[in-house]
Homo-oligomer: A and B are copies of this chain.
Amino acid sequence: KKTYKICCLPGDGIGPEIIAEGKKVLAAVGKKYGVGFECADELIGGAAIDACGNPLPDGTLEAARASDAVLLASVGGPKWDTTDPNAPRPEQGLLKIRKELGLYTNLRPVQIFAALAGASTLKPEVIDGVDMMIVRELTGGLYFGRRERFYDEDGAGADGKPGQRAYDTLEYREYEIERIARQAFDAARKRRSKVSSVDKANVLETSRMWREIVHRIHDAEYPDVELEDVLVDNAAMQLINRPATFDVVVTENMFGDILSDEAAQITGSLGMLASASLGDGVALYEPSHGSAPDIAGQGIANPLAQILSVEMMLRYSFDMADAADDIRRAVTEVLDEGLRTRDIADGSTPAEKTLGTEAMGDEVAKRI
């Protein structure tokens, strides 16, 4: 019997509650397809800081490297919020595991479940047909460039008075842009064959290089794919104005962070969106939403994005497309029957029934 090792990272806030449901559904898939999934929990984020002062302990990284895939829930919370540059922060754990595993491609599919279309703050005719894939570069740019804060004896205050200064560096290298561009064009070929490359080439040097390289790769290797350049400020507008016209959107790390969350919100159901972070080795899967510390521990969090991150894992890491389809079908059925966690309950269907985290996981698992 085929067996896969899954490194599970519950993290903070609602993380432990939702990852349990992800595992539950994975177990159901394993049973149906005769595949073993061995899940072992490791520390990351605030939980890891509390346990050992380090948001990504060496043991976690080793376990991740030795696994066939990593399933992450969420990190962060007000408990560890600080502006002290030297204090450990939960997010460092996430950034470090992305970097260490070389997860340079972040795939964020943005789709609407018919049963939840009403949850969007956008008009139904505007979100009708929304189906895009945001391809975010994940290991470069401002996230990983050199940064510093220092006290400047002359220059940082007004009129050259002493004061603090800080900088972050947005840096890219040619091969980093080449490989993410290829990921985007490859993804487009399996979809509607259109790529919108987002940059700020009228201001940034990294963006001008980005645009040149994306076009070179396009012209040489993917001339069959439609390519458009969109300035980031315009992209932020067009996502609201004509979201259904986007197919694949490719962009650098920070722009991708902002635009992927904007695009997610357009669906109105952030609690339904998952993401995959891929590199040349082990991949990592997580919900697009955060750790929701305000509702942690109450058993009411929505586990569906976590469950859909398991769907992506089956698809991308284990080539189990049928099993992945099963999960998507099960989630769709559950929603169509009116079952909702609190965050997606809106009274729009008479069949609506509000469930807790565990019950929602059970409903999906039993439909696999």
Interface of A is mostly: helix
Q: How far is the CB of A47 from chain B (nearest CB, A)?
A: 16
Q: Closest residue to A233 on the B side, CB-wise?
A: B261
Contact call B158/A165, Cβ cutoff below 8 A: no
At the interface, yes or no: A51 with Cβ under 8 Å from chain B?
A: no
Q: Chain B residues near A206: list those with CB within 8 A.
A: 147, 166-168
Q: Closest residue to A121 on the B side, CB-wise?
A: B126
Task: Give the CA-CA distance A158 to B177 in the complex, in Å.
Answer: 10
Q: Chain B residues near A89: list those with CB within 8 A.
A: 202
Q: Closest residue to A257 on the B side, CB-wise?
A: B233
**Residues of chain A at interface, number, CB under 8 A:** 70
Q: Chain B residues near A241: list those with CB within 8 A.
A: 121, 265
How many copies of the polypeptide does the oligomer hold? 2
Task: Give the CA-CA distance A198 to B169 in the complex, in Å.
Answer: 19
Q: How far is the CB of A151 from chain B (nearest CB, A)?
A: 9
Instruction: Give the most central of A168, A254, A255, A264: most B CB within 10 Å.
Output: A168
Instruction: Give the most central of A126, A148, A241, A262: most B CB within 10 Å.
Output: A262
Chain A 138-171 against B: per-residue CB contact (8 Å), 1 yes, 0 no? 0000110101110010011110010111111111
10 closest cross-chain pairs (CB), A and B: A163-B174, A237-B265, A158-B175, A236-B262, A233-B261, A147-B205, A167-B171, A156-B173, A83-B208, A166-B209
